[in-house]
Structure 1
Amino acid sequence: MAKRKTTPLPAEIEPVVQPSVTGQPRTTPEVDPATQQANPIYSRFSDFDVHLFRAGKHQKLYEKFGSHVVEHNGVIGTYFAVWAPSARYVAVIGNFNGWDKGSAPMSVRWDSSGIWETFIPHIGRGETYKYFIVHEGGREVEKGDPYAHSWEVPPKTASLIWDTYHEWQDQDWMANRKAKNALNAPFSAYEMHLSSWRRDPGNPERELSYGEIADALVPYIQDMGFTHVEFMPVMQYPYAPSWGYQITGYYAPSSRFGTPQEFMQLIERLHQAGVGVILDWVPSHFPGDAHGLYEFDGSHLYEHPDPRRGYHPDWKSYIFNYGRPEVRSFLISNAMFWLDRCHVDGLRVDAVASMLYLDYSRNAGEWEPNALGGRENLEAVSLFKEINEAIYAQFPDTQVIAEESTSFPGVSRPVYVGGLGFGMKWMMGWMNDTLRYFERDPAFRKFHQDNLTFSTVYAYTENFMLPLSHDEVVYGKKSLVEKMPGDEWQRFANLRLLFSYMFTHSGTKLLFMGGEFGQTSEWKFDDSLDWHLLQHAPHKGTAACVKSLNHLYRTEPAMYERTFTADGFEWIDTADRENSIVSYARKGNDPNDTLLIVLNMTPIPRSNYRIGVPSAGSYCEIFNSDATEFYGSGVMNGTPIESEQTAWQGRPQSIQLNIPPLGAVVLKVGA
């Protein structure tokens, strides 16, 4: 990159002074009286676009702002537009002009919108650039383009002129994905971090490209049976240890792995394989990097100016000003961008609770109540409603999923009934209670059975997703299998039992990468998963178990048709605390699809264990987590079990079966 010049602005480009929106002097190009536009040039903004932007209602700003290669007056070049209302001078700088601050000045629109524009001939795709901005008070900054579709590979920080043109080949998926993403369809998401899922075996320091990831990921997901992949943030982020959650380029897939088109091809290949794609989306905060959104035009433009509402103490980052209309347009448009231009099937919205509450991670005196005297961030609440309504209006065959850790009411209920409008919500209470229970020595689980049963008290108040996410396997929390008590065999049996409970419990599923084969070490953002473990029987068996659970989940309607309603779940017995055995039924629309699930939370096998059943018939075992191919001990029920007219647990019919140690059994009538 050429050295940036720091010489003063040449006198010949100093424009005339005109009153600004604030009433203070602002240097702007002279206004043409015939058109009432400053230095009339090619513009992508209509008056209506500007009106929507300033009202917080524009949903496709990526078609307007940023850099766009166009033909103007017979000349091919690039149009630039940026929002900088507190600037008195803005110019485009880059390799094309030797980073000269005076050679490519921009013109501010006459309409007081704060939008600056210019057309630069003879430059196009792949050119590096930034905006040089002089604040009204004289402060100078150099910023990347908030709407850029591509950036230099970190640690370089310039934006690149790029486009999102791609000839999509996923028409079959897009035409039929409504059924795949529906709330009454199986939804088993594999959460993964692109940088650390798999690395070059010959050079572990090298991250794979989007294409190389697709080559390995698509057949793997197909084989394992997951219905969706959820990518941790792929938007451009400068700092690798942030895992992608500190974003500077909200409209660009990370250049670490390739171009925007190569990212689209990854999505396309997953779609062609019948796999949906969910992206983590982070509207909650952004970093203070010098080239990013922070103090973009020298003022608090994107972040709230009051640090009580604009600074996040946990993440040392900055919070969007959700009450500023132009910022709302930025965020709404960004959500729509990934669904529109990149064909993703949904967004998982990060850190929703931090946005909903003004006192989140703040002590008394460190926050200010809302206009009604409460702790809710009313502007964020209204923004969520508006974004979700917009998404489901234009993309009704997608899902928006909230990572929300509190009891805020109606997160996944429609806006028209007073909810926030999300499609699903992470069930953080289930995750905490379940992991706490499974970490206990089986000898003491009988005293804590409520950790298992309490979830169904509130399970149907929201459309819940059960998450075993990346947050549970870092920062000294240990990997999932290492959380389990006992010797090696017991740890893996416990892990298979945990997965069996998760997949048979009401709700959709999310499992972080590595958990599916019993990764023993904690997740490391800068290192590959330990794929070599699959050569060992415990890990190979765990992967086979998860594969079988995914198959069971996808093929048995009782597991998903009524997953968000109470009539899809029925406890059979929770009273046998002494033996730590629980049983329940899952129900679909057809009574013949009913499944019976029995869990043994101790390492003691139980023979001829009697249990009441929902109906008379011949019960066949269709899944057993203790199967030898799963590294289990092989305590099975090999032949159909006929029900008997022996009343048990309040039911006229019952059966006797073998329950494996630390095992789960799933049975179906007449299977």
Structure 2
Amino acid sequence: MTEPTDNVTVPQFSTLLQMDPYLKPFEKDFQRRYGLFQKRLFLLEEAEGGFDQFTRSYQSFGVQRQANNALSFKEWAPAAEALFLTGDFNGWNNFSHPYTQKEHGKWELYLPPKEDKSPAVPHLSKLKVVVHTKAGERLYRISPWAKYVATSKDSVIYDWVHWDPPLPYLHVHPRPPKPRSLRIYESHVGIASPECKVASYTNFTVNVLPRIKDLGYNCIQLMAVMEHAYYASFGYQVTSFFAASSRYGTPDELKQLIDVAHSLGIVVLLDVVHSHASMNTEDGLNKFDGSDSCFFHNGTRGEHSLWGSRLFNYSSWEVLRFLLSNLRWWMEEYRFDGFRFDGVTSMLYHHHGVGTGFSGDYTEYFGLQVDEEGLVYLMVANHILHTLYPDCITIGEDVSGMPGLCRAVAEGGCGFDYRLAMAIPDKWIQILKEYKDEDWDMGNIVYTLVNRRYGENCIAYAESHDQALVGDKTLAFWLMDKEMYTNMSSLIPMTAVIDRGIQLHKMIRLITHSLGGEGYLNFMGNEFGHPEWLDFPRKGNDESYHYARRQYNLLDTEHLRYVQLYAFDREMNRTEDKYGWLSSGPAFVSAKHEEDKVIIFERANVIFIFNFHPTKSYNNYRVAASSPGKYKIKLDSDEVQFGGHGRLDHNTEFFSEPIPLNERPNSVMVYVPCRTALVLANEEVNYCY
């Protein structure tokens, strides 16, 4: 971590405006946003001594053990009439331990150590904050800063459990360096096992991390870690923001997971939800002090009509303290390496993206519909994270295409490192649902994959957890459907459906990987064509875990073709690791031939050839090449080990000719089988990057 400083450089809006001249009419909007950002940092400096101390508020709020084993408790409950602490330690007495009211809605309580000098509240004790309201109500609440919450077997309501182990887990391994090419394995700990139960942090550490390393992914994005009472919410209805979900194990077991990932050279991102919070009151933030507006906007502005959740008031000083300290907590306590911010679109606009189809008209990104409080919060969060942790990675989930989202704050941007290319999976699903193979539009596929804002990094993905959910289908299921249950054995002849599915599954993933962005994401299990959708236990399925799991056991049966898809995914990542196309500049597309169903492009001095035609193979197909030399096959989706037909000889050397083609000075002649993707590299080029 670097020495923190609140100094903000002079904004360089000209960089952004030169990159996209269409933004010029909105220069004053950028100036105003940046001015609001500067004002927020100035106030933090003036009132709190800077963001470094402000974001360490998790060290003073909630419960803290002092050097002498005394305990201090601190809460913000501006609407409360009185606060008391109750729990195991005092026999659940509601009045014996009152908090003292301080200024600005703060409440404090001090508990000296016992006579034996041990803490007054032992490790794993259950606690509650008793809130007395001005209306005469008595409410039982969990501290918003609780570090651990858990349920008992006979209850669905979470308890605040005092987490203060005598020997806390100490991280051994340093954070790995920030990857140049980001290859993300999107993961959910609870479903990371073939067993019909909630899987554990330890299971993930022992059984899944080695697979991720073997596959060549260098980043894990952990979903559903912030505690959520409703398992089927996929972690997006957070109840306790500082607590790692206890359904998978203890905080120390999560720390060990991250530590082991770091030992393997894998960075770990947290799927952070600061866009909204659960409606729960007994075990959530909602109405913590009895009022409607403690952490949230009151009235309709404080509720998300589609998600049924509460919306934060980003203009509130104490809400900023809570959320910014929350980011710092996950970085410091658990040593995460960054965040994927969920629901960014909802934070950027007053309409939250509900019922809004973004057309790309720039007026949609400015004006009164923009929630500048939410926007400035994201600017401040990114600025603080990247100042304190230069290698921190932040990804924004925004469907609107807000310009500047992934440009530096000093340029007038929002400061994210990457945005999710959310149009790509939608395009693949649309193609598979609506078009015959012979009607696929090569130009439209290329357009979707390359259509991103210049200078703003994107994470490309063919499918994520969204496409795996019940009600939709994974790519493998769209391609092969019910035959996945009966015809995936390599001991029987490959059916036409399985043949098509296997070949297109690989091609779709490789072209997305190589053309669609500056990073790549895969949802766990989809790399090997997981045969079923994802559905969490709920009343509608009789609380079944049958679909809330990932069947990694299928990979242990070598004659099943899932192994072949797994092997291709592994080789795809390893080939990228060698040539570095994700971290290179944009691809040059030299061919998108509609009749041939062929797409050809160069990126990172590597030639990619895709023949999507269902039946036509091409002998001596001329392919454009920028560099003269001898080319060889480095990745071939038609290899038998990948479920292909083995129609190519990898000893073949393709020598370039000085015959210009499609704006390239050279070309090579290549045999391109139907439904095959090839990666060619020039043997005479140094690929160190």
TM-score range, shorter chain: 0.7 to 0.9
2: distance between equivalents of 1:54 and 1:307? 32
CA distance in 2, matches of 1:54, 1:301: 26
How far is the alpha carbon of 1:237 from its aligned partner?
1.2
| 2:170 paired residue number | 168
Say if 1:227 and 1:56 are closer, same or farther in 2 by CA, change over 3 A. Answer: closer
The aligned counterpart of 1:220 is 211
Out of 507, 523, 531, the residue aligned to residue 552 of structure 2 is: 531
Identity %: 26
**Alignment match of 2:577 (pick from 554, 560, 584):** 554
1:192 aligns with 2:187: yes
1:153 pairs with 2:151: yes
Counterparts of 1:615 and 1:451, CA distance in 2: 26
Q: Given the superposition, is the C-alpha separation of residues 373 and 446 from structure 1 closer, same or farther in structure 2, using an over 3 Å criterion?
A: closer
Give the match for residue 500 of structure 2: 490
* CA shift for structure 1 position 242: 0.7
SS of the counterpart of 1:195? helix
Given the superposition, is the C-alpha separation of residues 666 and 442 from structure 1 closer, same or farther in structure 2, using an over 3 Å criterion? farther
Q: What are the within-5 Å matches in structure 2 for residues 222-241 of structure 1?
A: 222-241=213-232
Structure 1 residues 50 and 130, CA gap change in structure 2 (3 angstroms):
farther
- Counterpart check, 1:462 vs 2:456: yes
Structure-2 residue corresponding to 1:510: 521
Does structure 1 residue 579 correspond to structure 2 residue 589? no
How many residue pairs align between the two structures? 592
Contact 2:297 2:311 in 1 (8 A): no
Deviations 1:589-617 (A, max 9, x none): xxxxx100011112222222111211221
Cα distance in 1, alignment partners of residues 611 and 355 from structure 2: 44
State the alpha-carbon separation in 2 of the partners of residues 586 and 296 from structure 1.
53
User: CA separation of 1:443/1:471 partners in 2, compared to 1, >3 Å: closer, same or farther?
Assistant: closer
Aligned twin of 1:501 = 511
Shift of 1:253: 0.7
Q: Residue 52 of structure 1: which of 48, 57, 65 is its match?
A: 48
2:540 counterpart residue number: none
Q: For each residue in 1:225-280, what CA deviation from the matched residue of structure 2 results, as whole angstroms up to 9, or x when unmatched?
A: 11111110201111111111111111111111222111101100111111110110
- 8 Å contact 1:621–1:668 — kept in the other structure? yes
Distance between the aligned counterparts of 1:55 and 1:308, measured in 2?
Answer: 31
Q: Which amino acid aligns with 1:314?
A: L
Taking the aligned partners of 1:66 and 1:561, their CA distance within structure 2 comes to 42
**Who is 1:395 aligned against?**
389
CA contact (8 A) 1:434 1:452 kept: no
Give the aligned residue type for 1:653: N
Return closer, same or farther for 1:281/1:240 CA change in 2, 3 Å cut-off.
same
| Deviations 1:621-641, CA, capped at 9 Å, x for gaps | 000111100011112242111
How big is the shift at 1:95? Answer: 1.8
Equivalent-residue separation in structure 1 for 2:447 and 2:186 (angstroms):
26
Shift of 1:454: 4.0
1:647 aligns with 2:660: yes
User: Which residue number in structure 1 is paired with residue 324 of structure 2?
Assistant: 332
In 2, are the aligned partners of 1:388 and 1:400 still within 8 Å (CA)?
A: yes
Distance 1:56 1:322, change over 3 A: farther
Residue 572 of structure 1 aligns with an amino acid whose one-letter code is: S
**Alpha-carbon distance between aligned partners in 1 of 2:448 and 2:614, rounded to the nearest angstrom:** 23
Query: Is the 8 Å Cα contact of residues 56 and 328 (structure 1) preserved in structure 2?
Result: no
Cα displacement string for residues 306-333 of structure 1 (whole angstroms, at most 9, x for unaligned residues): 4332101111111111111110111011
Query: Do the aligned residues in 1 keep the contact of 2:295 with 2:313 (CA within 8 Å)?
Result: yes
**How far is the alpha carbon of 1:304 from its aligned partner?**
3.2
Q: 2:470·2:534 contact (CA, 8 Å) conserved in 1?
A: no
CA distance in 2, matches of 1:221, 1:305: 41
Q: Report the counterpart of residue 42 of structure 1 in structure 2.
A: none
Equivalent position of 2:136 in the other structure: 138
Q: 1:116 Cα shift?
A: 3.2
Contact 1:78 1:124 in 2 (8 A): no
Contact in 1 for aligned 2:83/2:129 (Cα 8 Å): yes
CA distance in 1, matches of 2:453, 2:597: 22
SS in 1 for 2:247: coil
Q: What is the match of residue 423 of structure 1? A: 417
Deviation at 1:163, TM superposition (A): 4.0
Say if 1:336 and 1:625 are closer, same or farther in 2 by CA, change over 3 A: same
Letter in 2 for 1:196: I
- In structure 2, give the amino acid aligned to 1:665: L
More displaced stretch, 91-100 vs 265-274: 91-100
**1:54, distance to aligned residue in structure 2 (A):** 12
Equivalent-residue separation in structure 2 for 1:49 and 1:597 (angstroms)? 52
Alpha-carbon distance in 2 for matches of 1:54, 1:461:
31
Q: Is the 8 A contact 1:627 1:633 kept in 2?
A: yes
Among 589, 608, 612, which residue is 1:601 paired with? Answer: 612
Equivalent in the alignment of 2:111: 119
Q: Call closer, same or farther: CA 1:586–1:49 in 2, change over 3 Å.
A: closer
1:430 and 1:455 in contact (8 A); partners too: yes
Residues 210 and 458 (structure 1 numbering): CA distance in 2 closer, same or farther, change over 3 Å? closer
Q: Aligned runs of 1:241-260 on 2, under 5 Å? A: 241-260=232-251
SS at 2:627 equivalent? coil
Aligned mates of 1:87, 1:302 — CA distance in 2:
10
Contact 1:69 1:124 in 2 (8 A): no
What SS does structure 2 have at the residue aligned with 1:452? Answer: helix
Segments of structure 2 that go 5 or more residues without pairing to the other structure are 1-43, 114-119, 357-363, 481-495, 537-544, 685-689
Give, as a single letter, the amino acid of the residue that structure 2 aligns with 1:495.
Answer: H
Point out the more displaced range, 96-105 or 388-397.
96-105
TM-score (norm 1): 0.83
Which amino acid in structure 2 is aligned with residue 99 of structure 1? W
Q: TM-score, normalised by structure 2?
A: 0.81
Alignment partners' CA distance in 2, 1:363 and 1:616: 52
1:487-516 CA distance string (max 9 Å, x none): 111011110111111221232011001101
Pair 144,218 (structure 1): closer, same or farther in 2 beyond 3 Å:
same
Question: Which residue of the partner structure matches residue 475 of structure 1?
Answer: 470
State the Cα distance separating 1:477 from its structure 2 match.
1.3
CA–CA distance in structure 1, aligned partners of residues 598 and 78 of structure 2: 65
